[in-house]
Structure formats: structure tokens, C-alpha cells
Amino acid sequence: MRKTPLAGLIQAMFMWPTVALAQTAPAPATPASAPKADLETVVVTGIRASVRQALDAKEASNSMVEVIASEDIGKLPDTTIAETLARLPGLSSGLDRGNASQVIARGLGPRFIGATLNGRELASSEPGRAVRFEQFPSESISGATVYKTQSAELAEGGVATTIDLQTVSPLNFRERQASVKLDGLYYQLGGDIAGAKKTAPRLGGIYVDQFNNRTLGVAVAFSYQDQPSLQKNIKHWGFNEDHSGDLNGDGKIDKSPWGFGTDVKRGTDKRSSLLGKVEMKATPDLFITADAYFAKADIYEPGLQHWTGDVGNWDGWQKANYSNVDIRDGYVVGATVKDVGLTTNDYVWVQDNTTTAGGINAKLNAGDWKLEADLSTSQAKRNSQWRDVRQWANNSGTLTWSFTGNEVQTFTIGQDSGNPAAFSQPTLYVDTDGHIKDKLNAFALNGTTSLNAGDFKSLKLGARFSDREKRYHQTTWSVNPKSTVAPSAFETINVSGLAPFIALKDFEGTTAQVFGDDAFSAAGRPQTQWDLLAGWQVKERSSSAFAQADLDGDIAGLPYRGNLGLRLVHTSQTGAGMQSLNGAAPTATQGGTSYTEVLPSLNLIFGLDANQERQIRVGLARAMTRAPLDEMRGSRNLSIDTNPAMPISGSAGNPGLKPMLADQLDVAYQWYFAKSSLLSAGLFYKKLSRYIGITSDATTIDGRAANITRSVNGKGGNVSGIELVYQSPLPAPFNNFGIYSNYAYTHSNVKENMPSVNPFPIEGLMKHNGGLTLWYEKDGFEARLSANYHSEFVRNPTWTSGQLIVNGAETYVTLNLAKQLSPKLQLRLGIDNLTNQKAVYTSGNNPYQQEVTEFGRRFNVGLSYKL
């Protein structure tokens, strides 16, 4: 065996540091450019070409990656990149408004996913760091690379994976390119909801051109979609676990439900985006790129709700009203109860999101060095408001229900729920008017030079500095009517399968008349105690430096390539907010910490034959994911006993949270057995430490013992799994067909801190997930049928941290057909959610406490024209 410098360096690099590095003052911070897969060198058309292009990029990468390549300019296979990402091996997504949104990877939830655009970290309109990928339409994105293993040049932040989205490079095209897409959308669920919008338009396009003898390139892309936001929902509010009573006389406490609700949305989700990009070969040695991306989402969701409760049977007081009781495992899952109230809600949810991202990148050849500088900024905003016109039934009624699990959710309301005269005069509740802003500025500098040192072929050095600030504030209020609302101002709304609702015929006009023109304005309104405590601000500065060597040689006659690197990260953070002591008026407070992490990485690819069709890939690294930004808030609500021996109690954020770490190993066998064909099997193992979860934390505040409910760094545990992939065009006589399939199994012993009995597994853990896509392409006709499955997993679908639920198993099926009518014109037909998959949430690890949401099937017919 030939001895190389590699073996000694590997041993030195992966002796994990056991002594904490000294914490220093905050250094400036930076977003570095992530490695970019060379995806734009070939213009492709058709399914087969895009599969081949993505596979070539995957095979050539020194890291373990998944690659998405566009079939043609402006022609990714789905409406947004989120839907495409959710089909990749080991990846999936939860649904939001019926769309794929935040990505889950390798059993880890959205907070473990790093997201970059052209290698630059993105700000987020979510409370934490997670990015909603549905904001990126197919027109703006030319491809994506999902990094499953770490390398030193990759910006830190994704323990599960880092997803880099790439926009088109105009100078990689030989000539002017342009295309336009126009679609008509139809939402089947709109037929079940009176007054709901069923149809909507979608328009998108891209233009690419070159000037000055191909030294200047420009690209402009746009999209607009007016998407109906429709759903039917039935929700169980949970059980009275501690103070219920004996209903069947057996001497045992029977846990009664608090109540139930129905929710119908009949709104719109208008999304638009604009991309501009300029590339310039200023000199033979200087290449400059400037780009800007803007996305906007305007959500206006009128909705209707029924709330029915009064069945919690507190300390047995309601026993005489109960009959026909169905008790299972100590829980009352069905009954008839007299004298139950009803609340009806006619509401509008308003949400405006904007995301901007842009920067300037310069690449310079300077002697033996290739230098790159990147200056970028990203900003995300979210303004939202819940407007609820709430009324109470004048008379009680008899409620009958059966909530036995497995999506069995039926209840009947005793009141005349569709009659406006059956309800009181309304009160307006604005809960809440919330505003979030995230701003991230960054600068990165790196240089690469060739080496002639045995197996070390090149050296790359770099640094990154970033400065991030995120803040949130809210206001809550209610308004009593200034005049009477006549029954004639309402209409009855019938919804298939649910009790009738009442709604204002003119929501905006009637609320302005009855509650005032300023009813929805927060101007001049005082914040409540809870509003003040809910606000926060987090600042984060980070700096990093890395060294990475590219490797190429052989070990024991076995050729290999790869990279070996080290990344050093230092971060300083501050969390501010308000604190209240024993209910007193809130006052300002803040805290913070700093930390330094050392992140080694090694990637090796061993070729098992002369053509390297068979490969063994090995990845070894330490990765980190920073704490969610909202959990780093300084806010706290404390109770202090007059007895100094008693501990302080309450709830709080935690500005002292450290990042979660993972020592991880990846091993994969890949066989590229023919063009566009791959058979692979991979194993991964992550040893997760400092896992962040919400618990009762024994700590010290101002020198006094305290038990505070907040997020803390815990012990962690292991996450491991296997990933299998098979993809290939089929042999003759079926050579116009192809298959893409994957399966992943994931296991983890990491537990959340809730519920206290039988706690949830780690958020995002899907034991099983996979997909199967069958495609056909011949004579200008294309067809895809895709089915993606995941087993149940824990997620947090709301803004409030710690509100964990179990998302049931789902199979999502889509069908896409296209026919080339001429060299420039294509006709398309698509069906999403072909099987009408519903979202089923189970709370508290209790199979009887379910929430079921139906989004319905979606159809689109469209034309694509290539200029």
C-alpha cells in the first residue's frame, strides 16, 4: 500500500475537540457562497435529458448530493420547487394550504434544513430559520442541489441537509431564449363550499439574452398565481384529563372532551415573483454577476367556524346532561349532551409576506489563484391579522358526537346554525395583528489555487461574515358594535358534510359600518400584557473561516477523489424582550451568549472500475444547526414567591441556546449502469448532541433558584437510516418509458420533552418514506405519474413553538401530461392530489384526539410558448 499524507491528516482532523474553546468577543459575520453544481452547461429538452443532466451532476460531485435539473428554460416539472424537492430520496414535506412547503430530510424537521439561493443564506418570514420553498416558482429556478454530506466550503447550518437553489446563468446559453406559460386552475373542493372560488389563473415567463459579443448576459423571470385557498376541517380540542367525573358509575374517572370545532376556508393566495440577473465578462480574468429576487404572497382567507364546547364535565357537574356515552380506554369518544352552547365565527385571515434577496459576485483570476468575493443581502417580512366577527347562540342545544379515531369525526349541533336570528349581536376580535421582520447581510471571500503535493490537487481558503437581526411584535384588541347588525346583512353558507354557517354578505363594508372605519387598524391601540411579552428581538453575528483541499489519488491501487477540510465558526447572539414579575407591568430584558465550533469534514469517492461506473462514497463530518431564532428571545413571565426558599417559576425564551451538533457518517454504493440510470444504496448515521426541546429547566435567575418552562439544550441521541434509489429508462420494447424510485428508512432514539408521559419522537422523524415516478416520452408527448408516501411524523404546524402533533401517513399522487403541438407551443394537463389525500393530525399521543383537513384535488390546463 502506497503511503500518502492523507491517512495522517484524516486521523488528526477527526480527533474531535474535547476541550471547549475560549469564548471571545463577537466577530463580524458572513454568508459564503455554497459550492455550485455545474448545471447550466447543457441546454436540455424533455424528461430523459433532464434526468441525464441531474444524474451527471450527481456523479461528478465530490459530495453526496441530489440534483434537480430543468428540462428546458423555465420548465421545472412542478409549479414550485417545493413539490420537486419532496420527491427526492430521503426528503419529504408537510402540507400547508394543500401545497408542499417546508422540507423534511433524513428524519429531521425544517429547523435542520439549511436553505441558500445561489449559495447565499436566506432570511425567513417564519419565526425561526426555516424557509418555505413554495415561494420559489419554477420560472425563477433553473435547478437545485441538495447536499447530504458536509464540506468545509459549505456554509454551516444544515445538520440534515443544505438545499441550494440556482437561478439561470444567461451566458451559459448560446443564444436568446424566452418562454411564457399560461395556466387555468380548477379546485374541486370549491364545489362543496358555497361562495368559494373554484378557478384561477397562473402566468409565468423567462427571458435570457446575450450582448457585446457574449460578454454581457441578462435574464428576467416573473410569475403570478391567484390560487384558491380552500379547506374543510374538523378539530377535537382535547380532553379534561384532571378534573372530569364518573359518567357510567363504575367508580372510574371518564375523561370528557373540551369540545369540537369546524373550520371552512374559502380564500385566495396570490403569489408573484420577479428575478433579474446580469452577468458580465469585464475582462478575460474578471467575471461579475449581479442578481435580485423578489417574492410576494398576499393571502386573504375568509373563513367560517363553529365552536361547540361545554362538555368538559368539570368535577362531574354535567353528568345529568350526558346520555348514550361511548367510553374507550377511559376517554369519552361519543355521547349526547343537553344544554350545550354554540359559537359561530365569520372571520378573515390576512397575511402579506415579502422576500427579497440579492447580491454582487466577482470572480478574478490572479496569477495562480482564482479569487471570489460575494456581497449579499436578504430580507423577509410578514404582516398578518386575524379578524373575527364572533356571535353566540341565543339558546343552548343538544350535542351528539362520535370521535373514535381513524378519521371518524361526526357531530350534530342542536341549534339552527344557519339562521342569523338564532345568534346574538357580534363582537369583533382582532387576534392578533402580528409583524415579523428578518434581515441578513453577508460578505464572503475565498480563493483557490492548484497544488502539486501528492494526492492534494488544489487548496481553497475562505471566510464568511454575516449579520442578522429578527424581530416580532403584535397587538390584540376587541371592538363592540356601535350599531345593530340586521339579520338581512347575513347569508346562509352551506358546506357539504357540515352544519350550515352564517356569514356577512359584505364583510369589509359591514364591519366598517358597525365597528368603525379603523376597526382593523392597530394605530393608537395599547398592547396587552400578553402582547408585550410576546414581542422579541434577536441579533446574531457570525464569522467563519475554512480551508479545504481537493484530493485525487489511489489507496492500495484503488483510485479515489474527494476533499478534506476544516471550518471554524464563531457566533455572538443577543436576545431581547420584555419580562413581567408577578403580573407587574413588563420591563425590558435581554441576554445572550457566544460560542466557537470546529467543523471538520471529509468526502471520498472510490472508483471500483476503469469508467467509475461503480463507486463507493464516504462522508465524515461534524455539522451544526443554530437554535431557532424565536426560541432565543429574551422575553419571560415570572412568578416570585415571597419565601426566598421557594424557586422562581414561569416561562421564558432562552438567549443562551447553543447550536445543535451532529457527528455524522455517510456510506453509499452507487452503480451508474447505463445512461440516465442509477442503482444505489446508502447508510447514514448522525450522533446528535445539544438537541433543543422545551422542558422545565432548573436554572438560576438573579442568584435565586428557578424552574422555568423554556427551550434548552438537551442530550440528543442517534439518527440513522438507509436510502435506496433505482432509476432508469426501460429497455426495449418499452424504451420510451422510465422509472424513478426511492425508499428511505430512518430510526432515532431522540425524544421530544412532551407529552410528559410517552413523549413524541424527534420532530420530523418519518420511519418510512419513498416515491415512485413512472414517465413516458415519445414524439412530443410526455407523461408523468408520481406517488410519494411517508409514514406518520411529528411536526409543529403552527407559529407557537412546542405545539407538536403527529401528522398521519400520507400518499400524495400527481399526474402530468404534455403534448408538443408545434416546435414552439406545448399543451399541458395536470392533476394534483389525485387521491384526495387528507391531512390528519393527532395530538397528545391520543388516537381519539384528531384533526382532519381536506384540501381536495386540483386541476390545471396550460399552454407553454417558447419564443
Strand residues in 393-500 grouped as ranges (E): 397-405, 408-412, 427-453, 456-479, 490-493
pLDDT tens digits, 541-562: 999 999 999 999 998 889 999 9
Q: Which of the four pLDDT bands, split at 50, 70 and 90, describes residue 821?
A: very high
Residue with cell string 455524522: 664
Positive or negative: CA dihedral 247, 250, 254, 260: negative
**Residues across the chain:** 867
pLDDT tens digits, 129-178: 999 888 888 888 888 999 999 999 999 999 999 999 999 999 999 999 99
| Mean pLDDT along residues 254-280 | 96
For residue 425, give every residue at least 6 positions away whose Cβ sits within 8 Å of its Cβ, in sequence order, or none: 391, 481, 484, 485
CA 171 centroid distance within chain:
32
The three-class DSSP label of residue 112 is helix
Task: Give the max Cα distance, the chain.
Answer: 92
For residue 30, give every residue at least 6 positions away whose Cβ sits within 8 Å of its Cβ, in sequence order, or none: 442, 443, 444, 463, 464, 465, 466, 542, 543, 544
| Mean pLDDT along residues 417-422 | 96
The pLDDT of residue 429 is 97
| Mean pLDDT along residues 444-456 | 95
For residue 22, give every residue at least 6 positions away whose Cβ sits within 8 Å of its Cβ, in sequence order, or none: 596
Report the 3 state secondary structure along 672-714.
EEECCEEEEEEEEEEEEECCEEEEEEEEEECCEEEEEEEEEEC
- The model's pTM: 0.90
From the CA atom positions of the chain, what is the Rg in Å? 29
Strand-pair category, 648-652 with 704-713: parallel
Strand-pair category, 286-308 with 322-328: unpaired
Q: Which of the four pLDDT bands, split at 50, 70 and 90, describes residue 14?
A: very low
State yes or no: pLDDT of 360 exceeds 90: yes
| Mean pLDDT estimate for the chain | 91
State yes or no: pLDDT of 71 exceeds 80: no
Cell of 268: 385566495
For residue 702, give every residue at least 6 positions away whose Cβ sits within 8 Å of its Cβ, in sequence order, or none: none
With a pLDDT cut of 70, the percent of the chain lying above it is 94
pLDDT tens digits, 478-511: 999 999 999 999 999 999 999 999 999 999 999 9
For residue 532, give every residue at least 6 positions away whose Cβ sits within 8 Å of its Cβ, in sequence order, or none: 578, 580, 586
The Cβ of residue 709 has, within 10 Å, a number of other Cβ atoms equal to 16
Closest CA to 839 of 773, 792, 769, 787: 792
CA 502 centroid distance within chain:
34
The pLDDT of residue 612 is 86
The pLDDT of residue 496 is 93
Residue with cell string 425544517: 110
Distances (CA, A) of 717 to 142, 309, 439, 687, 748: 37, 41, 33, 6, 7
Q: Are 346 and 505 in contact (CB under 8 A)?
A: no
Residue with cell string 378573515: 348
State yes or no: pLDDT of 844 exceeds 90: no
Rounded distance, CA 493 to CA 304, Å? 9
Least confident of 50-59, 183-192, 296-305: 50-59
Distances (CA, A) of 623 to 10, 102, 520, 661: 17, 21, 45, 6
**645 half-sphere exposure, CB direction, 13 A CA radius:** 0
Q: Which of the four pLDDT bands, split at 50, 70 and 90, describes residue 691?
A: very high
Q: Are 208 and 72 in contact (CB under 8 A)?
A: no
The torsion angles phi and psi of 754, rounded to 5 degrees, stand at -145, 155
Rounded distance, CA 258 to CA 392, Å? 17
Closest CA to 97 of 134, 140, 129, 127: 134
The pLDDT of residue 543 is 98
Rounded distance, CA 100 to CA 319, Å? 45
The pLDDT of residue 31 is 36
Rounded distance, CA 169 to CA 208, Å? 9
- The answer to whether the bond into 733 is cis (omega within 30° of 0) is yes
The pLDDT of residue 97 is 84
Q: Which of the four pLDDT bands, split at 50, 70 and 90, describes residue 23?
A: very low
| Mean pLDDT along residues 206-233 | 95
Least confident of 96-105, 312-321, 446-455, 633-642: 96-105
pLDDT tens digits, 571-630: 999 999 999 999 999 999 999 999 999 999 999 999 999 888 999 999 999 999 999 999
The one-letter amino acid code at 663 reads: D
Distances (CA, A) of 3 to 416, 605, 788: 85, 18, 47
The one-letter amino acid code at 105 reads: A
Distances (CA, A) of 396 to 260, 315, 347, 417: 15, 21, 23, 11
The separation between the first and the last C-alpha atoms of the chain, rounded to the nearest angstrom, is 59
Residue with cell string 398578518: 384
